[in-house]
Structure 1
Amino acid sequence: MDTNTLHKPPIRFNQMTWYNRCIVFCGVGFGSGLSPKAPGTFGSAFALLFAPLWLYLGLSASMVVVLLMSLIGIYICGHTAKVLNVHDDGRIVWDEFAGQSITLLPLLYLQQLNWLWVLIGFILFRIFDIWKPFPINWADQKVSGGLGIMLDDIIAGIWAALCIFILHFYFLT
């Protein structure tokens, strides 16, 4: 078991105000981040449920919604971390929602939002989110608060999105 898991306080929703309950519930990805193992992976997988919404909205509207999701996520993640009293707690996965959604945006542009490309996007996002190459690692280590929690996943989503463009043009052109 991860030693960091042993030091994380349990989430006691019943001891929170209703406002904090709602924010924390969003922050933990509507419960998807409460998985005892790999909460980030579960949060990213849960975010794939947004794919039909992105398809329905189309590229332009999806970009606006993902931008709003990211901006609101700065508050949600920061407030959740404050309530839980743990910075960038693994259970906070709203940032994975935003990063995974950014990863899928090129698929709308390329009109390739099918299960294979969604799976490729999921894998790419998880690789960048776990590996954290520069500048993801810089954002993770140097930027604090809600912005810091969100920024590394936003950058990971952008890197994964760029890889989707490269793979698409390499394999399909």
Structure 2
Amino acid sequence: MEKLLCTWFGAGQMRPAPGTWASVVAVALGVLIHWVGHFPLLLVATLAVTLAGFWAVPRYTKGMEDPDRSEIVIDEVAGQWLALCFPSFGFWYAGLDATNFPYPGWLAALIFFRLFDIWKPWIIGRADRRGGVRGVMYDDLLAGLFAGIAVMIAAAFSHLVLM
């Protein structure tokens, strides 16, 4: 069970760049979750996958020299869904229909999340260097937080300045 969760049902086995593949899978699932239950369901799913990651990663990596293995991608799913929560909330708050999740929102969340997850600026890098099983989850959650904020800044710029 821990391996299935940590590899997100095999997405972590995809090559090359399993983290990117997992992020793409996470976005597709996240948009589907948004369509089914809008922001509240996406938020609950994000919290659930985050808790599952903090539970599964230590169990799966027990005894491994390096717990931050490339096939472990539940952290990408949690971080990517956190990033998606920002535009999802905006659409929900604006009263838009749940099936209305335009591509700029989810595409920007994907791009910004991958950017922050790979670049690892500031506290994201510190969380990654912390190492250990908690570091596996923390850096991606911080990347998701930064990505979500970046999506909202980009949306504000787009709507207020470009239009």
Q: Where on the TM-score scale, by shorter chain, does this alignment land: which range?
A: 0.7 to 0.9
Preserved contact between residue 27 and residue 93 of structure 1 (Cα < 8 Å): yes
Identity between Structure 1 and Structure 2 (%): 29
Superposed, 1:134-149 pairs within 5 Å as 134-145=122-133, 147-149=134-136
Preserved contact between residue 116 and residue 147 of structure 2 (Cα < 8 Å): yes
Equivalence for 1:39:
18
Superposed, 1:68-83 pairs within 5 Å as 68-82=48-62
Structure 1 pair 47–118 and aligned structure 2 pair: CA distance change class (3 A): same
TM, length-normalised to structure 2: 0.85
Q: Give 1:119 shift.
A: 1.4
Q: Does 1:116 pair with 2:104? A: yes
Which SS does the other structure have where 1:125 is aligned? helix
- Residue 28 of structure 1 aligns to which amino acid in structure 2? T
Preserved contact between residue 68 and residue 131 of structure 2 (Cα < 8 Å): no
Cα deviation, 1:33-52, whole Å, max 9, x if unaligned, reads 11231010011111012211
Equivalence for 2:153:
166
Q: Does 1:154 pair with 2:122? A: no
Aligned pair partner of 1:91 in 67, 71, 75: 71
Equivalence for 1:24:
3
Q: Matches of 1:134 and 1:105 in 2, distance apart?
A: 22
Which SS does the other structure have where 1:29 is aligned? coil
Q: Give 1:54 shift.
A: 2.4
Runs of at least 5 residues in structure 1 that lack an aligned partner in the other structure: 1-21
Preserved contact between residue 24 and residue 110 of structure 2 (Cα < 8 Å): yes
Q: Give 1:83 shift.
A: 6.6
Q: Give 1:137 shift.
A: 0.7
Equivalence for 1:17:
none
Preserved contact between residue 5 and residue 52 of structure 2 (Cα < 8 Å): no
- Greater displacement, 85-94 / 122-131: 85-94
Q: Matches of 1:151 and 1:169 in 2, distance apart?
A: 27
Equivalence for 1:6:
none
Q: Give 1:53 shift.
A: 0.8
Q: Give 1:117 shift.
A: 2.1
- Greater displacement, 56-65 / 37-46: 56-65
Q: Matches of 2:120 and 2:4 in 1, distance apart?
A: 26
Equivalence for 2:97:
none
